[in-house]
Structure 1
Amino acid sequence: MRGEALMPTTVQKARLLLKNGKARIHSHRPFTIQLTYATGEAKQDLVLGVDAGYHNIGISVVSPTNEVFSSEIKLLQGQVERNKERRMYRTQRRSRLRYRKPRFDNRIKPKGWLAPSIQHKFDSHIKFIKRLCSVLPITKTIIEIAAFDIQKIKAPEINGKQYQEGEQLGFWNLREYILHRDNHKCQNPNCKNKSKNQILEIHHIGFWKKDRSDRPGNLITLCDKCHTPAKHKKKGFLYGWEAKTKSFKPETFMSIVRWKLVDELKCAHTYGHITKHKRIGLSLPKTHYHDAFCIAGGENQERCKPIFFHQKRKNNRCLEKFYDAKIIDTRTGKKVSGGELHSGRRTRNKNLNGENLRKYRGVKVSKGRRQIRKQRYAIRPDDIVKFDGKIYRAIGVQNKGQYLKIVNGSKPIVKNIKYIEVLFHQKTLKTV
């Protein structure tokens, strides 16, 4: 009643409290109620485990007896392209000005500045974690900041207690990075190993020229059939092979923001290779919410069903849209967009043109058109609505706001908007 977070309750009890007027709905994502009467405030120690990442966030809240919340959030992608489009429009707008005052003193980047795309993902982590802490009495937060310890790889010297842990811990740390970087797949482009569960090994790329260093750039993942002593010889595949290792963008992102996350949240941290040991010991499959459960210190607690979210744009500011023409492809008889049957021309000065596909254009089904958005409507895509006693998800408004396309399953339907009741608006998270 005072706005303080309490322990979770069951669906049946929450329904009774809402029905009797003893609680009100506070939020839908996740579904949270607020009591309207004074009650006891007994709480348990809850530990929040966060599997931070570039594409997904795994979340698990664990008590001494059970797991009270489990979720996996898929972050919004394409922020870089949207920033480029915004910069393009801003440049065009400024070029139309007759005179613009020179501004050179405001081009200094502040300390701790992050690129806009990275800042967006960093803010998303902070927002979702703080939002969960506002509805659950979490006493401790642990976040996985990387799959490996970069400082351990660069400076493998050990001291103190690390001597008692043996050499395998340091090797597993480096090996985990190489496997994770190579997506746990054999990097031989001509690999003939068809086994679903390949035995993977770490190969020294410069072994043939006596470069046995354990730096990540000299290590690559191979299966046991490609990594054999015979293939190390002069006539073998590995002799003289100069494989190029790829960069790892998600790990670069975590290297940039990991300590910022720890400082902002003032929480404890762990590494991915430690999480993997725990997950294997519990015989759990590889998922983000299972990793978060292990990060939170979960062992034999009763698990709960995870909730899957997708991060969505809260507002689409694009005012103009282009719809391509639809044409019948004479080769297949199917309807395709006009852009797919292009002329093949790429550049004017270089002979890089491809095949001219215009000759396969058949009957034009619909013309291409430009559409200008003139107004905004109250119901937006992914909002939850009610029609004829059933729950639907909104797809989009049609006929200048008169009709709404909704879906409850696989086949969408179109209904008059005045007969539809809005239950709640999806803001930044939508349930999958």
Structure 2
Amino acid sequence: MSNHIFVLDTNRKPLTPCKPGVARSLLKAGKASVFRRYPFTIILNKEVDANPEPLELKLDPGSKVTGIALKQGNHIIFAAELQHRGQQIKEALLSRRQLRRSRRNRKTRYRPARFLNRTRPEGWLAPSWQHRVDTLMTWVHRFRRLAPVGRITQELVRFDLQLMENPEISGVEYQQGELQGYEVREYLLEKWGRTCAYCGAQNVPLEVEHIQPRSKGGSDRVSNLTMACHSCNQAKGNGDIRDFLSSQPDVLSRLLRQVKSPLKDAAAVNSTRWALFNALKATGLPVTTGTGGQTKFNRLRLNLPKAHWLDTACVGPVESLEVLTSKPLLILAKGHGTRQMCGTNKYGFPNRHRSRRQIHKGFQTGDMVTALVTAGKKIGSYLGRVLCRASGSFDITTASVRVAGISHKYCQPIHRKDGYAYA
């Protein structure tokens, strides 16, 4: 059950995606050629006069991973997971700021202080957040060039389903209704990574735990709650957290530090959702929205496992659904390299030169290659992203390992650099 294959006619007009078997038959018969490897696309050698059925592009934006799915009728024919690099961008900007500040404090030169001389345009987002919007829009435009996308569905906000079911509900009935604590539990599961805060157990039933027991003045605020497995919850009881973790000071310090930290992922999604929605509207396609509660309800009703791409398939109103793929395309944003003119040491001083030449032996860092090594200590077949050197000795990063010292003579390009790695 693989993803369907994108099909273009000779004029690059997007047609209805076909099954992998049909694509193999067209390639063997010489009626089509490989146009793109990731996502796999074939191009026909003739013009086709057809009006393909419009597809629905579904998006589930996340702070770290965004799910993407293409729906034809009630069938999911293509799925992908796009992993963002917002945290890497934030760390790179932080490192640059620290180096510049250390140079200023070194008294090597004098520069007057600058105040109130920089303004931000309306709708400005931090670079790590703007990256999420720009990357996702890049793939929206890419899928529109490869498939006849007719509408877009985005998971936008999370509404209170209890209030939606009964708009007149209020007071104690609302506070103690069927969904009391639902949002709090989901928030805690995300904040603590769906693991026990005390022993780190995963894939076990978790219970809401009061860090400071209520019998000793603890409150029901989120800042006093965590997730614990049943055994740890019973072992702690109503004891003090410092006594319970007296033999694990590192766990205690991590827990107390994490309690004070907000849920960064939720903040990132909330800050970028409307910017993404407005960008999608600018495409001219009809855009519909769904809620997180609706997505979870659809997934549980359809008895589907928890996964980013399956959550995406359940975004919006879904009556019935048949998933025709089980192998989503994994897309990892890698960027296009650095623009530094020279490398620096940890103190900010330049210590190495960066060559302007990017292409070596016909390859460029970021190309997807296949290498069949027939001699030496690294005999075998490798498929992955290449790191080039002027010497011709390359490194190949596969899905599981990084192999160093592969000669360029064994490498064959299959997908040129576009800023992403695939699996």
The amino acid of 2:290's aligned partner reads T
Q: Distance in 1 between matches of 2:97 and 2:201?
A: 47
The question of 1:250 aligning with 2:265 is answered yes
State yes or no: 1:82 paired with 2:66.
Answer: no
Partner SS for 1:44: coil
Equivalent residues of 2:70, 2:77 under 8 A apart = yes
Counterpart among 123, 135, 142 of residue 146 in structure 2: 135
Shift of 1:163: 4.6
Q: Distance in 1 between matches of 2:290 and 2:202?
A: 33
* Pairing of 1:282-297 with structure 2 (within 5 A): 282-295=302-315, 297=318
* Cα distance between partner residues in 1 of 2:94 and 2:336: 19
Q: What stretches of structure 2 of length at least 5 have no aligned partner?
A: 1-8, 245-254, 282-286, 374-380
TM-score for both structures, normalised by structure 2: 0.70
Matching residue of 1:109: 120
**Does 1:429 pair with 2:420?**
yes
Give the aligned residue type for 1:128.
W
Question: Which sections of structure 1, spanning at least 5 residues, go unmatched?
Answer: 324-338, 340-368
Structure 2 equivalent of residue 174 of structure 1: 184
TM-score by length of 1: 0.69
Whole-Å separation in 1 of the counterparts to 2:365 and 2:118:
38
Q: Who is 1:344 aligned against?
A: none
CA distance in 2, matches of 1:421, 1:240: 61
CA contact (8 A) 1:275 1:291 kept: yes
Distance 2:414 2:306 in 1: 36
Residue by residue, what CA displacement relative to the aligned partner does 1:342-385 show, whole Å, maximum 9, x if unpaired? xxxxxxxxxxxxxxxxxxxxxxxxxxx96423342322234234
Residue 374 (structure 1) aligned with residue 365 (structure 2): no
**Residues paired across the two proteins, number:** 374
Secondary structure of the 2:413 match is strand
* CA distances 1:273-308 after superposition (whole Å, capped 9, x unpaired): 332333233333322112112226384414212111
**CA positional deviation for 1:69:** 0.5
For 2:393 and 2:192, the matched residues in 1 are separated by 49
In the TM superposition, what are the counterparts of 1:176-215 in structure 2 within 5 Å? 176-187=186-197, 189=198, 197-201=204-208, 203=210, 207-208=214-215
Aligned residues: CA RMSD: 4.6
Alignment of 1:405-420 (within 5 A): 405-406=395-396, 412=403, 414=405, 417=408, 420=411
- How far off is 1:314 after superposition? 1.6
- Write the distance in 2 (CA, Å) between the matches of 1:282 and 1:31: 29
1:109 is displaced (CA, Å) by 1.1
8 Å CA contact 2:67, 2:82 repeated in 1: yes
Partner of 1:269: 289
Among residues 41, 46, 68, which one is paired with 2:55 in the alignment?
A: 46
Q: Which amino acid aligns with 1:143?
A: Q
**Pairing 1:303–2:327 present:** no
Higher relative contact order (CA 8 A, sep 6+): 2
Amino acid at match of 2:82: I
CA contact (8 A) 2:76 2:321 kept: no
1:301 alignment partner AA: E
Amino acid at match of 2:355: K
Question: Against the structure 1 CA distance between its residues 210 and 32, is the aligned structure 2 distance closer, same or farther, given a 3 Å change threshold?
Answer: same
Kindly report which structure 2 residues correspond to 1:340-359, keeping only aligned pairs within 5 A, or say none. Answer: none
Cα–Cα, structure 1 residues 23 and 196, in superposed 2: closer, same or farther, change >3 Å? closer
| Aligned-partner SS, 2:314 | helix
Match of 2:248 in 1: none
Question: How far apart, CA to CA, are the structure 1 residues paired with 2:92 and 2:331?
Answer: 22
Q: In percent, how many aligned pairs have the same letter?
A: 25
Q: Distance in 1 between matches of 2:30 and 2:411?
A: 26
Secondary structure of 2:297's counterpart equals helix
Distance 1:112 1:392 in 2: 41
Q: 1:403 to 1:274 in 2, by over 3 A?
A: same
Residue 259 of structure 1: aligned partner: 274
Code of the aligned partner of 1:48: L
Shift in Å, 1:207? 3.3
Q: Deviations over 1:3-35 (max 9, x none)?
A: 443210233443454566654544333122344
Q: Determine whether 1:221 maps to 2:212.
A: no
Q: 1:195/1:30 Cα in 2 relative to 1: closer, same or farther (>3 Å)?
A: closer
| Correspondence for 1:313 | 335
Cα distance change, pair 419–125 in 1 and its aligned pair in 2 (3 A): closer
